[in-house]
Amino acid sequence: MNQMNHPTDDDLLALLLADEAGADHAIKAGSVQDASALSFAQQRLWFLQQFDPHSCAYNLPRALRLSGQLNADTLEQALNAVIDKHDILRTRFIEVDNLAQQQVDRQARLSLVRHDLSALSSRACDDAVRLHHEADLMQPFDLSVAPLIRGTLLRTGPLEHVLLLNMHHIVSDAWSNAILLQDLAHAFAQGCSGVPSGLQRPAIQYADYAHWQRQHYPLSAAHEQAASHWKQLLDGELPSLDLPFDKPRTPDQAHPVGNHVLSLPVSLGNALQRFCQQQGLTPFIVLLGAWQLLLGRYTGQHDFTVGVPNATRSQGETQALVGFFVSSQVYRARLDGAQPAQQFLQRLREQSLAALEHADYPLELILEDLQLQRSTQANPLFQTLFNWRVASQDAAQLHLDGLTVEFLGVEQQQAKFDLSLEVDYSQQQIDATFSYSTALFLPQTIARLAGHWQHLLQGLIDTPHLRLGELPMLDSGEQQLMLDTWNTTAEDFGAHANLQNVVRGAGTYHPAGHRRSPGHRHTHLPAAQPAGQPPGAHPDGTGRGCRGRRRHCVRAQPGDGDRPAGGTQGRWRVRATGPQLSAGSPGLHDRAQRHRATADPGLGTARPAIARDTAGHAAGSP
- What is the per-residue pLDDT across 574-595, written as a single tens digit (0 to 9) for each? 444 555 544 444 444 444 443 4
**Which of these ranges, 305-319, 501-515, 582-596, has the smallest mean pLDDT?**
582-596
pLDDT at residue 431 greater than cutoff 90:
yes
In order of 83, 318, 322, the CA distances from 180 in angstroms are 9, 14, 7
Q: At what angle do helices 283-299 and 266-279 cross, to 10 degrees?
A: 110
Q: Which of the residue ranges 29-33, 196-200, 555-559 would you say has the lowest mean pLDDT?
A: 555-559
Q: Would you place residue 527 in the very low, low, confident or very high pLDDT band (cuts 50, 70, 90)?
A: very low
Domain with CATH 3.30.559.30 in the chain: 235-394+412-479
Is the pLDDT reported for residue 235 higher than 70? yes
Q: Give tens-digit pLDDT for 129-167.
A: 999 999 999 999 999 999 999 999 999 999 999 999 999
- pLDDT-based confidence at residue 278 (cuts at 50, 70, 90): very high
SS3 state of residue 437: strand
Give the mean model confidence (pLDDT) for residues 111-116.
98
Q: Is the pLDDT of residue 316 over 50?
A: yes
- pLDDT exceeds cutoff 60 at 523: no
Decide the pairing of beta strands 149-157 and 113-116.
Answer: parallel
pLDDT band at 57; cut points 50, 70, 90: confident
Q: Alpha-carbon distance 360 to 83, whole Å? A: 27
Q: How many CB atoms are closer than 10 A to CB 253?
A: 13
Portions of the chain given CATH number 3.30.559.10: 30-219
Tell me the C-alpha distance between 508 and 497, whole Å: 16
Average pLDDT over all residues of the chain: 80
Alpha carbons 282 and 170: distance in angstroms, whole number: 31
Q: What's the pLDDT score for residue 508? A: 60
More confident residue, 240 or 148: 148
d(CA 371, CA 289): 29
Does the pLDDT value for residue 22 go beyond 60? no
* Per-residue pLDDT, 392: 57
Residue 162: CB atoms within 10 A of its CB come to 21
Please compute the mean of the pLDDT values over residues 365-378 and round it to a whole number. 78
Whole-angstrom distance, CA of residue 272 vs CA of residue 407: 29
Q: Computed from CA positions of residues 231, 10, 20, 315, in that sequence, does the dihedral angle turn out positive or negative?
A: positive
Q: Indicate the CATH number for domain 30-219.
A: 3.30.559.10
User: Residues 447-460: what's their mean pLDDT?
Assistant: 97
- The architecture (CATH level 2) of 235-394+412-479 comes to 2-Layer Sandwich (3.30)
CA distances from 420 to 217, 334, 384, 437, 449 (A): 31, 19, 5, 9, 12
pLDDT of residue 247 exceeding 80, the answer is yes
Q: How confident is the model at residue 315 (pLDDT cuts 50, 70, 90)?
A: confident
Query: Over 70: is that where the pLDDT of 349 sits?
Result: yes
Q: Which residue has the higher pLDDT, 571 or 491?
A: 491
Nearest of 306, 449, 297, 464 to residue 388 by alpha carbon: 306
Q: How sure is the predictor about 522, in pLDDT bands with cuts at 50, 70 and 90? A: very low
Average confidence (pLDDT) over 298-302: 96
* pLDDT at residue 192 greater than cutoff 50: yes
The candidate with the shortest Cα–Cα distance to 297, out of 522, 451, 442, 481, is 451
The residue count of the chain comes to: 622
Q: Can you give the pLDDT at residue 622? A: 42
Instruction: Give 330's pLDDT tier (boundaries 50, 70, 90).
Output: very high
Q: Which residues contact 504 (CB under 8 A, 6 or more apart)?
A: 524, 527, 528, 581, 582
Mean pLDDT of the 289-298 span: 98
Mean of the pLDDT values across residues 232-250?
90
Measured distance CA(487)–CA(491) in Å, rounded: 12
Q: Which of 195-199, 214-218, 448-452 has the lowest mean pLDDT?
A: 195-199
* 594 contact partners, CB below 8 Å, separation of at least 6: 600
pLDDT-based confidence at 394, cuts 50/70/90? low
Report the alpha-carbon angle 84-95-98, nearest 5. Answer: 150
Residues contacting 516, CB < 8 A, separation 6+: 522, 551
Q: What is the pLDDT of residue 491?
A: 76
Q: What is the DSSP letter of 249?
A: -
* Contact status, residue 610 vs residue 535, Cβ threshold 8 Å: yes
Check residue 476 and give its pLDDT: 82
In sequence order, the 6+-apart residues with CB closer than 8 A to the CB of 377 are none
Q: How far apart are CA 318 and CA 310, in angstroms?
A: 14
Q: What is the DSSP string of 31-73?
A: -S-SEEEPPHHHHHHHHHHHH-TT--TTEEEEEEEEES---HH
